[in-house]
Amino acid sequence: IAGITQAPTSQILAAGRRMTLRCTQDMRHNAMYWYRQDLGLGLRLIHYSNTAGTTGKGEVPDGYSVSRANTDDFPLTLASAVPSQTSVYFCASSDSGLDGAGELFFGEGSRLTVL
Amino acid sequence: GQNIDQPTEMTATEGAIVQINCTYQTSGFNGLFWYQQHAGEAPTFLSYNVLDGLEEKGRFSSFLSRSKGYSYLLLKELQMKDSASYLCAVRDSNYQLIWGAGTKLIIKP
């Protein structure tokens, strides 16, 4: 693995189902993030983690949860998917937290469709 | 509210120069980023400006004027592979990144 790996790359999901998007990084970055990207809108932060064991809410956290049990993994869970959660989800990491100057490294994205 | 404005789409010719503008209104300022995103791919970092002036990196340059809430990304000697979306993002006083919707750049031969 080199960089950030997301899985699945694409998924079609029935409304009401539970779904976990996986994210793993091998760069030993402290900070990790989940964004969603929708047509015509900028990237919107869902949740973030500045270091293992801590998480925080971003701009659009409702309906999503995260955990950060270790440095490498940062899964995003949709407890009960709704059609408005249809989007492309990007996981990202940086070697500094939100107040650092570090660039973000993004995974390839997970395209989720909720029917 | 906080706002980042970029043109939705621009077209330029291979070999030419193009300037992509970004204006912002945010609660404070702690740096501005430019990212490139090819269709269906992840965004990749291009530049970071925190002080006024021009930062040059090869064919790409980024300019910042904090007093005007303005930045631009300048791409020289355009190549077909530069066809992509260019995302402007500003870090506000709470160190939250505010993203523009991106500018889709189309390069024509």
Q: What is the pLDDT of residues A42-84, one digit of tens each?
A: 899 999 998 999 999 999 999 999 999 999 999 999 999 999 9
Closest partner residue to B42 (CB to CB) among A90, A97, A103 is A90
Is residue B67 left, alpha or beta, with left meaning phi > 0 and alpha meaning psi from -120 to 50?
alpha
Residues of chain A with C-beta less than 8 angstroms from the C-beta of B96? 45, 58-59, 98
Q: Which residues contact A27 (CB under 8 A, 6 or more apart)?
A: A3, A4, A93, A95, A105
Rounded to a whole number of angstroms, the distance between the first and last alpha carbons of chain B is 40
Strands B103-108 and B9-13, by their bridges, are: parallel
Which phi and psi (to 5°) does residue A85 adopt? Answer: -90, 5
Contact residues, chain B, for A99 at CB < 8 Å: 30, 95
- Give which of B108, B34, B100 is closest to A42, Cα–Cα: B100
pLDDT in tens, A83-105: 999 999 999 999 876 565 678 99
CB contact under 8 A, B89 and A98: no
pLDDT at A42: 87
Helices (H) and strands (E) in chain B, counts: 0, 11
Interatomic CA distance for residues B49 and B34, integer angstroms: 9
pLDDT at B37 over 70: yes
Q: How high is the pLDDT of residue B94?
A: 82
> Rounded CA gap, A48 and A93, in Å?
9
Q: Nearest to residue A105, comparing CAs of A92, A95, A115?
A: A92
Cα distance between residue A44 and residue A61, in whole Å: 10
A103 near B CB under 8 A: yes
Say if residue A1's pLDDT is above 60. no
Q: Which two tokens stand for residue B26?
A: 């945010």
Give the pLDDT score at A100: 59
pLDDT of residue A101: 63
Shortest alpha-carbon distance between residue A38 and chain B (Å): 9
Q: What is the pLDDT of residues B1-27, one digit of tens each?
A: 789 999 999 999 999 999 999 999 999
Q: CA-CA distances (angstroms) from residue A2 to A66, A67, A106, A108?
A: 23, 22, 12, 12
